Structure formats: structure tokens, C-alpha cells
Structure 1
Amino acid sequence: MMHYALPPSLDDDIVRFEQDFAEFRGGRLHKTAFTAKRVKMGVYLERDRSSYMCRIRCSGNIITPKQLAGVASLAKIYGKGQICVTTRAEVQLHRIEEQDVIPVLRKLKEIGLSCKGGGGNTVRNIIANYDSGVSSKEVFDVQPCLQALAERLLRESDSWDLPRKMKIGFCSLTEEDSLGFVQDIGFIAHLNADGKEGFRVYIGGGLGAHPKVGVQLHEFIPQEEVYNVVRAVKNMFHLYGNRRNKHRNRLKFLLHDDLGPSAFRTYYRQELNKVLEMGYPKLDVLPLDNEKNVGRDIPLEPEKEDSDDFRTWKKRHVVNQRQKGLCRIRLSLFLGNLQGDDCIALEKFSRPFGENILRFGTDQNMYLVNIPEKYLANVYKEIVGYSALSDKPMLYGNLVSCSGSQGCQAGLTAPKAVTEATFKYLDTVAAADFCPPNDIMIRISGCPNSCSNHWIADLGFYGKVRRVEGHMIPTYNVLGNGGMFGGILRIAEKIGWVHAYDLPRFITEVMRRYANFKEQSETIVDFHDYWRSGGRDIISELCTSGYNDIPSFAEDKNYYFDHGADELFSLKNLGHEECSAGIYDIINVDDKLVRKNLMQLAVEKHPTDENLETLLQGILFHGARMLLVTRGEEAKTEADVYTLFTRHFLDTGLIAEAHRPLLLSACQGKSDSLCEQKEQVIAFGEDITTLYKNMDDTMRFPGERENMMVQAAKKHDDPLTPPLGQRRRPNKFKDLSGVQCPLNFAQVKVQLFAMSPGEVLEVILDDGTPIENVPESVKSEGHTILCQEKTGEQWSVLIQKS
């Protein structure tokens, strides 16, 4: 399997997103609600607030040459003219204008690519070490299993509405790579005592502002159990995950802080047993052929090259593969970028070598694999003219930076600009002074979020703001000694800070001291050895003695500008992080308006009748709408708002029965004159905001979780369970015609929650994506599908509650 197959729902997803875009532009869809929908599709608003970034999934770090050229063409037509490789081995297109977003998504689909799941509270791009399948050090190739898992998860509707994003990674290199330890779920290749291929499984890792190392969940699972493990964890995340606090709702917080590893494992085992009982089909794991170019007659004449530059390039960037006669080549990218014309040229050049030759690394570089050794000169002469770093020391490709304030709304500082300044400083100083070391990894982030992975770098930095004499100045915290050592992942230690203006000089000085120390020592092997042998204290002292004294603005104003900026440093364009936009953001829009109106009524003792009517109408409408999303509902009209609220909150007893006359009038369209019902409306507003306040982090209201647990405890003793396939008269009916994923599944969950174990729900689903996804999602929660019958373009599905 070369690449995952796109989900069958993608056409419908793009059409629906196009409609959402039109609703937003027409002022009929609130900005916050639109943002939550937009980021799920991998589309982000850029720092200029006028253009968009599209993040393209490249499952397993793989892209074909034709796909690369297709993306590059889109970059030239619609965007900045270049591609950007991310630290999650994806590709981003920048500067996409509003009217071009939908055409870009459709053209990506034509070449087998998608942005869906590039952001939001979704299953994100699944990654591996870039050399899986070709490394001489690996246990086995993890790509086939990874691609099969990605394809399965992309088809499941509950992959797109998690409490927070879920990152999954595979590693073929046992414990030599940190990748598997900093994922929500990490799979590290392992052989059991019988030599069977499988994985050690780690759970709850992650970086960000609060880094956590994953803990072992399984010592060994065979490859065929990978989906079951992910399914069980995903079910747990849906059930127990914190949806309220976006700063503490990653899986790592559920594991390490909320439940604790022991309780987490207990709940996980329970969930895994349910999944195993469901008997899900095994993943369709198809091998990826990395042997094809071994001895193959390739229609290309080998070239000759005997220069010192060529020999230096080979030493730096070429590694022999496990496949005899084939090589892996690193194409170090300038700031993770490659010009569109270079991508198109690379596709044309690489045609003789086949489709299986390109990988992206989490170091923002590109790798050519499966290249016969005799063609190295051909490759060298081709790529040496690209907008890359092929003629530079390895250090240049090892220095990774996020976009920061130059593109990201959450960025404080400009890491890419400071990285470029560091390159220039190294070019002018290091060349004549010392040879930059090739074995050090440097990561620079523009804020604490660790998009550059600064916590697991040899030398890491993240942006911070300080004030001097009333002026803001850009600075960086300094970290060191992160990464793997002896099979253990080290989180880097913070040891000081430096101002941004002098960061290029600071990095160069650290490199100089490390290179000199290493040259003079017979025992220093790597940066970790240097750190333990006095390097930590040397670097810490360097921070305080040479880089913490900031001149006044009158003495040197350079310190008050960030790199690449022509204005004084400030946070005036700082926006909000978009990747976590979700259900709570949508609820908060209505909650704030209700509270604002209640406050205004408390302050204004004698408002005009017109103003009073407006305030009361706002409380009633937004109060009734605000919590519908927790029941999986998306009301299209004002009448729908009141009808659905009555069904889900009045009829279920979640809100006081005293409010029914008010809501009944609203349902009947008689809410035009609310002044006479002022006190009732205010009481309703106060009750609904209190209900929201008392909602727990999993979007359940007081008593709901307890009811759920009681029902779950009774399920094994339920005498009402009929034989599978036997049709029963349903206890409840729900017509979900026209309701798309994942709202249809959310509404099914709401209906089932209100039912007793053994009762039967009949739902009507549309053909296509709804019938493909909803029954599978229902089964994953432990319920039973009694039968599915198709009539015309719709399906009747009978579900028995567990």
C-alpha cells in the first residue's frame, strides 16, 4: 500500500464546507462556529487575517512525485509559490485567498490528497520515522500497518469530533527514536519471543507547554491488534476526555493528571474487552515494495562526478539502505520550504525511479529513498541548483523552526527570521573560525506550544516577551539536553534566556564551544556527553554573563525589533490559537451573550421597550440554542431552536418544567412581545447559564454520568436481548434523513442515552457516508445492530442499546 485511500465522504465534506463558507461570508454563521468547522478541514486563518493556510495530510510521511508536483502547481497558482514541510511531516500551502480555498481542496482530491483532519479536535496525520522500510537498523517496516490504520480511521465519523486532537505515531527503530514516546498513542516496532512482528505501545505522550513522556500500555501486541488498541483509546477519550478546558484536554492530561496511569489502564482494559467482543475486521495490511529498484534496468544514463564538493555532499547527505545498492538521500530544505518550480523539476527528474521515492521528515527536510547508488551524481547535479541547503553543513538542516509570528496567530516571536539570521551569521563567522558540528539538533519555537519540538532537542528555544523601560522585547528561553539516551526519553532542561537580537550570535558561540570541546576530548561522543561534562554550566553561564544585559532603547534600538520586522516589537497582531476550536467555543458565544444581556438588564433599571425586547429576545434565543450542540443538534431555524431545546432539555427534566410555557410560546412563534414576561425570561437565562456551569468536562449534566454507569452495570443481566438479526418493534424512532456525519451519530448517541438497556431504536439514515459510518460507530460503543434494510436511497437501522 503506497498511500492511504481518501475517505468516501470527502466530496460531501467539501460541498458542506463550501456551504459553511457561504453562510459565514453572508453573516449567517458565527465566526467561532465557522472556525470550528474550518480547522477540521485543515484550513487555518493566517496572521494577516485575510489569507488562509491549507495543511495537507501526508500519512506516514509519504508523498508521490506526481502529488508533490500537483501541490507545487497549486502553490504557484493560488499561494505563495512554495511548499512548506511541517514538523509532522505534512505539507502546507500559504497565502491562499478566501475565494480559492474550495478550488484548492477539490484539486487536491483529484491528486489523492486531502486537508481534512489537518487541524481541529481530530485524529491528526499519522507519522513514522522517515526511513521506515529502508533503514538497516530497523526491526521491520511499519508503513504498511500505518497506512491501513490511517485509512480505517479516516472513514470513522468519531475521528473528527474528539475532546482534543489525537496524534498517533509509529517507529521502526525500537527505542532509538523519540517519536513513539511523545505521541498520544505511540507504536514502536518489536518482536516477541517467537519472532512475531508487533509493537510496544506507549500512551499519553506529548509536548506543548506541558511536556509528558508516554507510559507503556502494552509490552507487545501483534500487528493485527493495532486497530483494536486505537479504537479502545478513542472510545475512552470520547467517554472521559475533558472537552471544556482546551489547555488541559489532551489525552496526556487524562492519563497523567485526571485518572492516573493505574486507573487509566483499568478503564482501558474494560474498553478494549468491549472492542474485542465486537470482532472488528483486521486491517488490510499490504506490503510496500522497497526492493523494486534493486538491479532494475532504469532508463537513465549514469553520470560521473569527481569533485570535492560531490564527495562532501555524499558524506553529509547520503546513507546506504538495507536494500543492497540503494541509497537514501537527505535534501535539506531552507526553513522547511521548497520552491514550486523545484518541486516540479524534481518530479520530472525522478520519473525513471518510480513513485516510491519521497519521504518527509519531522525535521522539515525531504528524503529521496530507493535511489540506486550509481545515479548519485545524477541526483547531485539535479538538486544542487534547488532552493535548498545541499551545499551547507548538516547543522543547517538540523536547525528547525516554526512559522511563529510571521504566520501563526499564536506566535510571539519570529523563529524563521531568527533562523535565517543565524544562517547568515554562521556563513560569515563560522566558515573562518570553526567547523559547525553535524550531530546536534536545534529547535526554535515562537511560543511555548512546541511546534518545533524544542523539548526534545539537543538545544531548544521558545519565544517569550519581556519588558524594559516600558518597551516589549522579544526573547527566547534556552533549553538543553532533550532527546533519547539509552532507550529513555529526556525532556530538555530550561537553563536561561537570551534576547532575540543576539540569538544568532549565541547559537554560534554554543556551537563553537561544543565543537572545540569535542575536538579536544577523547571521550565526548555527542552533545549529551558534552552537557554532562560541563557543557550545561558553560551554556548557562553564557546566558547570564553575555546575553541578559539589555541596553536601553536610546542606546541600541535593535533589541526592540524582532528579526525580519520593520516595526517595534509588540503583540498587537497576536491572535488566538485555532487548532483547538471546538464545541465549547461555540457554546461560549451564546453563553457570553446571555450573560451580557442579563448583566445589562441588572444595570439598566428603566430600559426602553425596544431595548428591553431586544435584550430579552437575545436571552431566550441564545439560551435555548447554546447547549443544543452537546446533544448533537444543529438547528437551522429559530423554530428548530425552541423545538429541539424542548425535546432535549425540558422533556428530559434537565431544565425546570416552569419554563415550558415560555418555550411553548416561542415554539409557536409568539415570542415577539417578551416585555410582559421579563422575569420569566431572566429566570430562564439564569437557569440555563447555571446548567452550563454545572456541566462536566465530558458534556454531561448532573446525574447523567451516574445513570450511564448504572445502565452499563446492568447490561450483562438484561433479559431482553433478542437473537442477532431478529427484527423487533422499536421503542423509539429517529429520522436522520439529510443529517450529515458526525451530527447524525451524535444524535443517535443522545437518543440511546435516554433509553433503557435492551430497548430498540430505529433510525433512518441516508445512503453513502451515513450508512457506512454510523452503524460502525454505534457498534464501537458496545450497542448491537439488529438489522439494516435499504429502501430507495435510505436505510432503516435497528439498534439495541447495551
Structure 2
Amino acid sequence: MFNLPQKVIQDIPKYRENLEKFLSGEMKEAFFRGIRVPWGNYSQRGGMFLMSRLRVPAGLLAPSQLRAIGEAAEKFADSKLHLTTRQDVQIHNVSYENSAKIIEYLANFNISPRGGGGNTVRNVTSCYLSGICPHENVEVHKTACGLTEYLLCIDDTYGLPRKLKIAFSGCEKDCDFTGINDIGFVAMKDGTFKVLCGGGMGAKCSVGRVLQEGVSRGDVGYVVRAVMNLFNKYGDRKNRNRNRLRFLIQDTGWERFVELYRQELKRTKDAEYIVLREEDEAGLPPADGQPSADIGQGDAGWDAFVQYNTGRQKQQGYHYVQIRIPFGEIDARTLTGLAEIAEISPAINFRTSRRQNLIISNVPSSMVYPVYKKLQGMLKDYLYPETLLDIVSCKASTTCNLGICNAIGMAPEIVKKLRKVQPGIDKLKDIRINVNGCLNACGHHPVGDVSFSGMARKVQGRTVPFYRVHMGGRPDAENTKLAQEAGVVPARAVPGLISDFVSSMPENTSVDVQAWISDGGRAVMEGLVRKYSYIPRYEEDRSYYVDFGRTDDFSLEGLSQGECGAGVIDMIESDIESAGASLTMAKENGFNPGEIKKAMLYSAGALLIVKGVDPKNETDTFVSFVKRFVDTGVCDPEFRSITGVYNAIVSGGGHGKEETWDYANRFYNEVKRIYSTMDSNFNFPVKEGAFP
């Protein structure tokens, strides 16, 4: 299991200190955003509350951790939780004040949101059955946890050009979607890893290519560090539309990138000693007994449960139970209730999956029925995980600033419609549906068999929710197939469209469903898109102009800038903006010395963050600026005396107020000029004529 590093624990008081500065008005929101987002705290739509994204390395949770997350959601938020497609758990509707309390409370249970957002290495995922799967080549969850512990201790991982995603699959089946991650590790039969690089999803998707084969577990840390070093060195930090690793590879060229990687890997091995911790896990005790042959007789729910929700582990006498958590939505009391299932057997643990479900592992085979009865008393809709009814959905416009459509409101309507179709057993098992509120792919629409991504269009002068229809996605490491667009339909038509599509599928059990979807199914879907593309006038049927889960007319109100990439740039621009505002305020108030001081302090501090400087006080801010920008020739030598000018203002002496304001204004404009020359790697050119 994962151990939260001491470095993360030691950094928690600093988060609280900055939070208190923000709450008191001492720190601006834009600057604090650059601090809270790398701590996994995102602003929800509307700006009143936060979402705290908890990392769950490899998706592994002990019963005590599952209970603690539920308790935190109930104590410090409104009990609403969401399981994500990266095996994280999100606590929603968190007040700013309580964000620190969640961090502090959960640290006692080796859980943290650190690195859950911003330009960081995100949650390291693995096959959700790692360690219990009969088919795995390597128990990759151990490597994923060890790698997470290593990365969380490195400062570089919190200031990348953009987020970096890493995944581990335990065999060639690629259950962890390595081909759509920045770095993916596929365990081979000989116990080594095939490494993929450059995959990713979003408005511009890419499938990773094979970077290296035959990588031992002992080299995993070096491989990740080398790729991360290249990303840090060459990645574009300023162009947010092209600053993912896959764009760096595209701009560099694959062959050149591989060459740079090999050079960097050698340098890394020469310069560092990286050993990932791997915990020796205690074996499971012998499991005695089997379920009675007549158990559950006449219970149709039990029959479905055994067929769809259970599987044999590689450990003899044990099963796992997969619980479908519809659309990843769960409340705190249900989570804490599920943790109590561990009382049935001391070996029980929990796992989160890429399809937003929960897995109970290490259930003695003789105790599967008692687990079923417990679930039956707690949950209403938990059967049929990883089937047609197990729809993946992002949070969409309910809480996300980038969400266009309410995908998570539409998903239940699709399920209702599909239940009426009563698809045959083969259809039920073989189709995966993913829905997403926009193109950013948090709902993994690029790898769904049939999937939808939200958009908006104008119809007769009104804004209407629509979805792009995608087909044929299939995770398969470097051979991953990305879903192709098959048309656009109004949101209100999607449940009917998918219902008709499933009804049209062949009943012949010998037909490969995925092959049919990619081949003949496409023509069927395109015909249905034409059928469902019509939108009646607003006066005839207003429902088309209202999104699912809402009663008001559809609009894009609340849509705003996303915070996934919040970090250094936000903090720099916040300080520069604050400096300008203080100069304006000073001039409007008779060249007020207090505002002039603020302007100078904000200007001097704005760029220090890219030099890794955290000034201890005001004097240190100016001394550090002179040392790193004036003495190096980046800044005009006129400002070598800035510390003295500032101290003169503090003491009440120095130049006249207007003259001092002019100096502060020149300094502010010089800092803006320097910032404009900063390249994508936070480097600055020497100013022409700075040195004689």
C-alpha cells in the first residue's frame, strides 16, 4: 500500500498559511489559485465552492481509508463524492476554509490531494485487479505506489509545463489504457516493461508510441525521471493549447525525441540513484469452504450478481466483487457503509476502477453471498458493472467550469431507455458507453465503443445543447484505436438514438461486437444521426432547448476558464496585475506611499517564483530580485538601487511622492518587459547593453 511521504506532510502547514492569507485578503485569488490547484483543490462552477481531488495511487484503498474519505466528506463538505476515470476520489462542495481541514485530516490515513491538479504528475494508475488477476504478468500496483512516493518528493513534479499522466498495465490486455497516457508501462510475459510515450486525450488526441522495451522494474524510476526532465527542459510553458508532452514530441519529431530520451536516460542514471520502495505484501490466509450449492436459489438478483459482479482471484479460495457505482456518484454514508463490509473478513480491501466503480477484493469464496446480502441492503443499483448499463460520465456542467452540457444528467436517461430495450446477453457485456460534457475527455469518450462529447449550437436564435457522436474506440497500448466522429445530434435525442442503435445490433453470438461497431455499425449510426437531427421549434417542444437535469432554458452561463493548468503563469500574472492596480490606486490618491510600496513589492516578487525563490521578507524580495535579474543583465541596471528606494519610502524619506511613483512605474514596466521575453522554459535573455 501507498505511504504518504513526509515531504507532503511537512508542506501542509504552508498550505494553511497561504489559505489564511487569502481568506484575510492579504493574497489575491489569482495568486492563491496557483497554490491551491497543485494541492488538488479546484474551483467549482460559480466560484463559491471547491472540489478536492484525492489521489488514490493504483486505486488501492484500505477499509480505514475508505471510511476516512466518507467521514471527511461528511464533516467538511456536503457528503457528495465522485469516483473519477483516473481512480481518484473527489469530494465536492468544499468551502475554502475547509480545504485545509480535509488535507490535514486525511493525511492521518496516508491520503492526500497533493498533485491532484495543476501542472503536476497526476495520480499514477494501474490495472484495478493488479495483485489478484489470474492473467497478469506483473503485479504493477506495487510499482505504481512506489513511483508515486518518489515523485511526490520531487519539487520538479509541481512545476511542469503541463500535467503528466502515467499508467501501468499488468499484461498485454492493457486494462489501464497505457496508450492514452503521457507515459505508459505494459508488463510483458518476461517480467519487463514495454514503455509507451506521447499518448493523451482531449480536443487533439494522440496514441503513445513505443519508447523502449525490456525495461526492468528497477529502471522504471529512471525512465520516468528522464522523460520528465525532457518535458521540463523543452516543454512549452506559455502556450497552453500546445503544452502537453505529446505536442512537444510532435514539434521535436519522434526520432529526435527518442535520441534526446536516450541521452537524458544515461545522464539521469549517472547523476541519480533511484530505487522505488516495494512493500512485501502478506499472503492471504487459506480460505476454507465454498458457497452452498442451493444458496440464493430463486433469487434472480443473485444469479446476475454472480455472473456480472464477481470474479475469481488468482489466490485460491478468493473472489473479488465489483460494484457498479452509477456514473461515479456516491455519498459519504454509503462509502462508510461499504467500508464496514470488511468486517466479514479481515483480508478485504477496496479498489477504484477506470470505469468509476468500486471493487471489493480478497473476499473468501464462502463469503460472497453475505457480501451480496449486505450490498442488497445498502444499494439500489449496483448490478451489471462493465456492461452496456455501466456508463462512464464526467461531472460536466454540474460543477466543472469547462462543462458545456450536463452529461451526468443525460447518462441516467440513457440507462432508462436501454433497460426498456432489454438487450441480449452478448450486447449487454460487450458495449461500453462514455459521455463527456465537452471535448476535454475526462469521461474518456475517445476510447468508448459508442461515446458522446458535449457542444452547443445556435438554433433559431437560441443556444441548444448538442453532442458529437463517436464510435469505435478501443484501448490496446500502442495499437489503441481512437473513436471517430459519426455526426452531431441534439442532446435530447441521444437516449433514443442509442436505444435504436443497440436494437439494431445483430443477435448472432458469433459476431464480434467491436468489429461490427467499427464496420457495419457506423452506417447504422449515421442513418440514426440523420433521423434524430431534427429540432422542433421552441414553441412546439421546449425540451430540446433545456438540458437534462435542468428546468431553465439552456445557456452557457457559468462557463469559465478551467484550472487544470493553474500554476506559475497564474501567479506571475496575478502579481503583475496587482502591481498595476496599486500604481493606479496610488496616483488616484495623491501618490500614496503605501500603494507605491505595494506596487514595487508585487513587481519585484512576480518573477522570483521561476527562480525557485520564496523570499522570507520584503528586503529579501528586493535583494533576490537584484541578484537574479539585475546582476545577471536581464533587468536594466537603473534598478540596482531598488532596495534603497523602497527602504527610503518605508522610513518616510527619499524622493518626492510623484518622483517615487515614476520610479515604481518604470520598474513595473521593466518587469512586464522582462516577462514578455520569457521563453517557454522560463529563461530570460540578457538585455542589450546591460554589460559594457
TM-score of the superposition, structure 1-length normalised? 0.79
Counterpart pick for 1:272 among 249, 265, 278: 265
Q: Aligned partners of 1:504, 1:693: CA distance in 2, in Å?
A: 49
Counterpart pick for 1:700 among 683, 686, 691: 683
Match of 1:742 in 2: none
Match of 1:580 in 2: 565
Q: Aligned partners of 1:493, 1:407: CA distance in 2, in Å?
A: 28
CA shift for structure 1 position 571: 1.8
**Is residue 688 of structure 1 aligned with residue 632 of structure 2?**
no
Match of 1:288 in 2: 281
**Is residue 330 of structure 1 aligned with residue 322 of structure 2?**
yes
Closer, same or farther in 2 for the Cα pair 1:617/1:77, shift >3 Å?
A: closer
Counterpart pick for 1:306 among 297, 318, 333: 297
Where do 5+ consecutive residues of structure 2 fail to align?
A: 688-692
Closer, same or farther in 2 for the Cα pair 1:659/1:132, shift >3 Å?
A: same
Counterpart pick for 1:569 among 536, 554, 560: 554
Match of 2:631 in 1: 651
Counterpart pick for 1:539 among 514, 518, 525: 525
Closer, same or farther in 2 for the Cα pair 1:228/1:177, shift >3 Å?
A: same
Q: Aligned partners of 1:28, 1:264: CA distance in 2, in Å?
A: 44
Q: Aligned partners of 1:632, 1:388: CA distance in 2, in Å?
A: 52
CA shift for structure 1 position 474: 1.1
Match of 2:19 in 1: 21
Contact 2:437–2:454 (Cα < 8 Å) also in 1: yes
CA shift for structure 1 position 19: 1.0
Contact 2:222–2:274 (Cα < 8 Å) also in 1: no
How many positions carry a matched residue from both structures?
682
CA shift for structure 1 position 254: 1.5
Q: Deviations over 1:480-515 (max 9, x none)?
A: 10113697101111121111122222222222222x
Counterpart pick for 1:465 among 451, 456, 459: 456
CA shift for structure 1 position 40: 1.6
Q: Aligned partners of 1:13, 1:303: CA distance in 2, in Å?
A: 56
CA shift for structure 1 position 475: 1.0
**Is residue 123 of structure 1 aligned with residue 103 of structure 2?**
no
User: Which amino acid counterpart does residue 567 of structure 1 have in structure 2?
Assistant: D
User: Which amino acid counterpart does residue 390 of structure 2 have in structure 1?
Assistant: N
Contact 1:302–1:375 (Cα < 8 Å) also in 2: no
Q: Aligned partners of 1:486, 1:282: CA distance in 2, in Å?
A: 26
Q: What secondary structure does 1:438 align onto?
A: helix
Counterpart pick for 2:200 among 192, 198, 206: 206
Query: What is the Cα-based RMSD across aligned positions, in Å?
Result: 2.9
Q: Aligned partners of 2:90, 2:655: CA distance in 1, in Å?
A: 49
CA shift for structure 1 position 97: 2.6
Alignment of 1:49-60 (within 5 A): 49-60=47-58
Q: Aligned partners of 1:153, 1:393: CA distance in 2, in Å?
A: 33
Q: What secondary structure does 2:535 align onto?
A: coil
Match of 1:633 in 2: 613
Contact 1:208–1:448 (Cα < 8 Å) also in 2: yes
Alignment of 1:188-587 (within 5 A): 188-191=186-189, 195=190, 197-257=191-251, 259-289=252-282, 291-295=283-287, 304-307=295-298, 308-387=300-379, 389-391=381-383, 395=387, 397-427=389-419, 429-431=420-422, 437-484=428-475, 488-514=479-505, 517=506, 519=507, 521=508, 523-526=510-513, 528-543=514-529, 545-587=530-572
Closer, same or farther in 2 for the Cα pair 1:469/1:372, shift >3 Å?
A: same
Q: Aligned partners of 1:431, 1:393: CA distance in 2, in Å?
A: 16
Compare 679-688 and 463-472 and name the one that shifted more. Answer: 679-688
User: Which amino acid counterpart does residue 387 of structure 2 have in structure 1?
Assistant: L
Which protein has greater RCO, CA pairs closer than 8 Å, 6+ apart?
Answer: 2
Contact 1:459–1:482 (Cα < 8 Å) also in 2: yes
Q: Deviations over 1:662-689 (max 9, x none)?
A: 6642354367745236765555444332
CA shift for structure 1 position 86: 0.9
Question: Percent identity between the aligned chains?
Answer: 28
Closer, same or farther in 2 for the Cα pair 1:390/1:626, shift >3 Å?
A: closer
Match of 1:796 in 2: none
Q: Aligned partners of 2:161, 2:261: CA distance in 1, in Å?
A: 17
Contact 1:293–1:353 (Cα < 8 Å) also in 2: no
Q: Aligned partners of 1:70, 1:359: CA distance in 2, in Å?
A: 15
Contact 1:117–1:160 (Cα < 8 Å) also in 2: yes
Counterpart pick for 1:676 among 647, 659, 665: 659
User: Which amino acid counterpart does residue 535 of structure 2 have in structure 1?
Assistant: I
User: Which amino acid counterpart does residue 234 of structure 2 have in structure 1?
Assistant: Y
CA shift for structure 1 position 703: 5.8
Match of 2:690 in 1: none
Q: Aligned partners of 1:621, 1:341: CA distance in 2, in Å?
A: 48
Q: Deviations over 1:353-387 (max 9, x none)?
A: 23453111010011122223222221211112333
Where do 5+ consecutive residues of structure 1 fail to align?
A: 602-606, 705-802
Q: Deviations over 1:304-349 (max 9, x none)?
A: 3112331122112222222233222211012212333333333223
Closer, same or farther in 2 for the Cα pair 1:394/1:5, shift >3 Å?
A: closer
Q: What secondary structure does 2:184 align onto?
A: strand
Closer, same or farther in 2 for the Cα pair 1:583/1:618, shift >3 Å?
A: same
Closer, same or farther in 2 for the Cα pair 1:301/1:675, shift >3 Å?
A: farther
Closer, same or farther in 2 for the Cα pair 1:114/1:618, shift >3 Å?
A: closer
**Is residue 35 of structure 1 aligned with residue 33 of structure 2?**
yes
